[in-house]
Amino acid sequence: MTSASRLVYDERLTAPKAWWLIAVLFGASLALIFLPFGSIAALIALTAGTCLAGMYVSAQGSTRIRVTADTLFVADARIPLTALGQPQALQGEEARAWRTYKADLRAFMVLRSFIPGAVRVDVLDPDDPTPYLYLATRQPELLAEALATRA
């Protein structure tokens, strides 16, 4: 393993466990709706409803943030750390401000309503119109520290 491919930080933005319970309850409610049509219809509704809701919950938790010694990987984006400025860990009101009224429409934002913390880092590349990255994370200090590390 080369030093450039060494994994410095890895986080998957998974959905809360309560969302999985809601997915099962959604399937159960569909089963109750279809119960007057017979137990087979209720079973099919339970299976289909739970699977559909589960796929939605799974999709919400599919985003991954990875930092190697020289690259940031977020979803499908690959950004060299040399193109990024100094990261800023955000918590509470400051994180909310940067995802609402302080937000720039051109920014690259990874938002998850169930994750309150974030990291904001400026993009230094003059050819890139993106002013900054806003990355929702459960561990803003650790992600900011990983982004501040240069190869």
Q: In what order do the strands lie in the sheet with 118-123?
A: 84-90, 118-123, 132-136, 108-110
The label of the residue with tokens 């040399």 reads: 82
For residue 135, pLDDT beyond 90: yes
The percent of the chain in helix, strand and coil, each rounded to the nearest 5, is: 40, 25, 30
| Three-state SS letters, 40-76 | HHHHHHHHHHHHHHHHHHHHHCCCEEEEECCEEEECC
The share of the chain scoring above pLDDT 70, in percent, equals 96
Task: Give pLDDT tens digits for 57-98.
Answer: 998 877 899 999 889 999 889 999 999 999 999 999 999 999
User: Residue 65 has which token pair?
Assistant: 């943030």
Q: Is the pTM of this model over 0.85?
A: no
